[in-house]
A and B are shown apart, each in its own frame.
Chain A
Amino acid sequence: MIEGTDRIDYYPTHELGGYRARAGRPIPFGATLVPGGVNFSIYSTHATACTLVLFEKRASEPMAEIPIPSAFRMGNTWSIMVFGLEYEEIEYGYRFEGPWDPEAGQRFDPRVIVCDPYAKVIGGRDTWMGDPEWDRPYPHRSRLAFEDFDWEDDKPLEIPTEDLVIYETHVRSFTRHPSSGVKAPGTFAGLREKIPYLLDLGINCVELMPIFEFDEWENSRRNPETGETLVNYWGYSTLGFFAPKAGFAATGKYGMQVDEVKALVKDLHRHGIEVMLDVVFNHTAEGDHRGPTISFRGIDNKTYYMLTPEGWYYNFSGTGNTLNCNHPVVRGMVIDCLRYWASEYHIDGFRFDLAAILGRDQNGAPLANPPLIESLAHDPILARCKLVAEAWDAGGLYQVGSFPNYGRWAEWNGKYRDDLRKFLVGAEGGVGALAQRLQGSPDLYWYRGASASVNFVTCHDGFTLCDLVSYNGKHNESNGENNNDGANDNNSWNCGAEGPTNNEEVNALRSRQMRNALALLLFSQGVPMLLAGDEVARSQGGNNNAYCHDSEISWFDWTLVDANAGLLAFTKRLIAFRKAHPVLRRSHHFVHRDDAQVGLPDISFHGTQAWRPEWAGWSKALGVMLCGAYAPGGADDDVYLATNTYWEGLWFDLPRPRAGRRWHVVANTGMAAPEDAFDLGQEPLLEDQDRVLLGPRSVLILVAR
Chain B
Amino acid sequence: MAINVSECQAVKVIAVDGSIDGKTAPEVQGEILPAVAGIDRVILDLSQVDYMSSAGLRMLLTLYRQFQARKGRIALVGVSEEIQDVMSHTGFIGFFALADTLEEAVALLEGTS
Partners in one complex: yes
Complex contacts, A187 vs chain B, CB 8 Å: 89
Residues of A within 8 A of B90 (CB): 251, 256, 259-260, 262-263
CA distance A192 to B55 in the complex (A): 23
B53 within 8 Å of A (CB atoms): yes
Judge whether B86 and A150 touch: CB under 8 Å: no
Task: Please encode chain B, from 41 to 65, with 1 for each CB lying within 8 Å of some chain A CB and 0 for all others.
Answer: 0000000000001110010010000
Task: Assess A255 versus B89: contact at CB under 8 Å? Given A86-B23, A88-B21.
Answer: no
Which residues from 245 to 271 on chain A have a C-beta closer than 8 Å to any C-beta of chain B? Answer: 249-251, 254-256, 259-260, 262-263, 266-267
The A141-188 residues at the B interface (CB cut-off 8 A) are: 146, 148-150, 183-184, 187-188
Min distance, Cβ A558 to any Cβ of chain B, angstroms? 20
A150 and B61 within 8 A (CB): yes
Decide if B85 touches A250 in the complex (CB within 8 Å). yes
Q: Point out the residues of chain A lying under 8 angstroms from B23, CB to CB.
A: 86
Q: How far is the CA of A183 from the CA of B85 in the complex (A)?
A: 9
Q: In the complex the two chains form, is A259's CB within 8 Å of B91's CB?
A: yes
Closest-by-CB residue of B relative to A183 is: B85
A420 contacts B by Cβ under 8 Å: no
Which of B53, B58, B88, B92 interacts with A189 by CB under 8 Å?
B88
For chain A, the bracket of interface size reads 20 to 34
Known contacts A86-B23, A89-B22; A254 and B88 CB within 8 A of each other: no
Contact of B89 among A88, A146, A184 (CB under 8 A): A184
- B residues 74-111 with Cβ under 8 Å of A? 85-86, 88-92, 95
Report the Cα distance A262→B94, complex, angstroms. Answer: 14
Within 8 A of B (CB), among A217-263: 249-251, 254-256, 259-260, 262-263
Are A267 and B89 neighbours in the complex by a CB distance under 8 Å? no
* Cα-based distance from A192 to B90 in the complex (angstroms): 11
Whether B85 pairs with A184 at a CB distance below 8 angstroms is yes
User: Which residue of chain A has the shortest Cβ distance to B93 in the bound complex?
Assistant: A263
Q: Using Cβ atoms and an 8 Å threshold, which residues of chain B touch A86?
A: 22-23
Tell whether, in the assembled complex, residue B86 and residue A266 are in contact, meaning their CB atoms are under 8 Å apart.
no
Assembled-state Cα–Cα distance A544/B53 (Å): 42
When the two chains form their complex, are residues B89 and A249 in contact, meaning their CB atoms are under 8 A apart? yes
Chain B residue numbers with a CB within 8 Å of A87 are 22, 55
Complex contact A254–B53 (CB within 8 A)? yes
- Interchain CA distance A184-B33 in the complex, whole Å: 35
Chain B residues contacting A249 (CB-CB under 8 Å) are 89
By a CB distance below 8 angstroms, the chain A residues around B86 are 250-251, 254, 256
The answer on a CB contact under 8 Å between B53 and A88 is: yes
Smallest CB separation, B47 vs chain A (Å): 20
Q: A260 to chain B: which residues have CB within 8 Å? A: 89-91
Say yes or no: A146 contacts B58, CB within 8 Å: yes
Given A88-B22, A88-B55, A259-B54, A150-B88 contact (CB < 8 Å): no
CB distance from B76 to the nearest CB of A (A): 17
A263 to B95, CA, bound (A): 12
Interface of chain A: mostly helix, strand, loop or mixed: loop
A148–B58 CB distance below 8 A? yes
A262 touches B91 (CB 8 A): yes
Q: How many angstroms from the CA of A184 to the CA of B90 in the assembled complex?
A: 12
With a CB–CB cut-off of 8 A, which chain B residues contact A146?
Answer: 54-55, 58
- In the complex, chain A residues 325-356 whose Cβ is within 8 Å of any chain B Cβ: none
A354 to B89, CA, bound (A): 32
Query: When the two chains form their complex, are residues A259 and B92 in contact, meaning their CB atoms are under 8 A apart?
Result: yes
Which residues of A have CB within 8 Å of B22? 86-89
Contact with A along B5-19 (1 / 0, CB 8 A): 000000000000000
- Tell me the bound Cα distance from A250 to B81 in angstroms: 14
Interface centre among B22, B89, B90, B91 (most CB of A within 10 A): B89
**Which residues in B have their C-beta under 8 angstroms from that of A262?**
90-91
Give the residue among A87, A146, A184, A263 with the most B Cβ atoms within 10 A: A263
Q: How far is the CB of A474 from chain B (nearest CB, A)?
A: 37
Residues on A with C-beta less than 8 A from B95 are: 150
Near B by CB (< 8 A), chain A positions 78-129 give: 86-89
Chain A, residues 259-299, CB within 8 Å of chain B (1/0): the string is 11011001100000000000000000000000000000000
A259 to B85, CA, bound (A): 13
Are A251 and B89 within 8 A (Cβ)? yes
Least distance between B53 CB and chain A CB atoms (Å): 6
Known: A88-B21, A89-B22. A255 touches B88 (CB 8 A): no
Complex CA distance for A322 and B27, rounded to whole angstroms:
49
| Bound-complex Cα distance A12 to B58 (A) | 26
How long is the Cα–Cα vector from A663 to B54 in the complex, in angstroms? 59
Within the complex, what minimum Cβ distance (angstroms) separates A450 from chain B? 37
Closest chain-B Cβ to A126's Cβ sits at a distance in Å of 13
A254 to B88, CA, bound (A): 14
Q: Which residues of A contact B88 (CB under 8 A)?
A: 189
| The residue from B21, B89, B91 contacting A266, defined by CB atoms under 8 A apart | B91
Please report the C-alpha to C-alpha distance between residue A87 and residue B85 in the assembled complex, in whole angstroms. Answer: 23
Q: In the complex, which residues of chain A have a beta carbon less than 8 angstroms from the beta carbon of B92?
A: 259
Which residues of chain B have C-beta atoms less than 8 A from A183's C-beta? 85
Nearest CB on B from A442, distance (A): 44
Most chain A CB inside 10 Å of its own CB: which residue of B58, B85, B91, B95: B91
Collect the chain A residues with CB atoms within 8 Å of residue B58's CB.
Answer: 146, 148
Chain A contacts for B91, CB-based, 8 A:
149-150, 259-260, 262-263, 266-267
A355 CB, min distance to chain B CBs, angstroms: 32
Report yes or no: B85 in contact with A255, Cβ–Cβ below 8 A.
no
A85 nearest CB neighbor, chain B only: B22
In the complex, A586→B85 CA distance in Å? 44
Q: Which residues on B sit within 8 Å (CB–CB) of A192?
A: 89
Min distance, Cβ A176 to any Cβ of chain B, angstroms = 16
CA distance A267 to B89 in the complex (A): 11
Q: Report A367-381 CB contacts with B as 1/0, cut-off 8 Å.
A: 000000000000000
B39 → chain A closest CB, angstroms: 24
Which residues from B are CB-within-8-Å of A184?
85, 89
Give A17 to B96 CA distance when docked, in angstroms: 43
Q: Within the assembled complex, what's the spacing in Å between the Cα atoms of A417 and B54?
A: 45
CB distance from B24 to the nearest CB of A (A): 11
Closest to A265 in B: B91
CA distance A206 to B58 in the complex (A): 29
Give Cα A653–Cα B86 distance, bound, in whole angstroms. 61
Bound state CA distance, A256 and B53, in angstroms? 9
Q: A89 to B54: give the CA distance in the assembly, Å.
A: 11
Most chain B CB inside 10 Å of its own CB: which residue of A89, A188, A249: A89
**Contact of A255 with B61 in the complex, beta carbons under 8 Å:** no
- Contact with B54, one of A189, A255, A266 (Cβ below 8 angstroms): A255
Chain B min CB distance to A251 (Å): 5
Q: How far is the CA of A89 from the CA of B61 in the complex (A)?
A: 20
Please give 9 more A-B residue pairs, beta carbons under 8 A apart, in addition to A88-B54, A146-B55: A86-B22, A88-B53, A88-B55, A146-B54, A149-B91, A249-B89, A251-B89, A251-B90, A263-B89
Closest 7 CB pairs of A and B: A263-B91, A259-B90, A189-B89, A88-B22, A250-B89, A260-B89, A251-B89
12 pairs of residues in contact across A and B, judged by CB atoms under 8 Å: A86-B22, A87-B22, A88-B53, A146-B58, A184-B89, A192-B89, A250-B89, A256-B54, A256-B90, A259-B91, A262-B90, A263-B89
| A residues adjacent to B (C-beta < 8 A) | 86-89, 146, 148-150, 183-184, 187-189, 192, 249-251, 254-256, 259-260, 262-263, 266-267
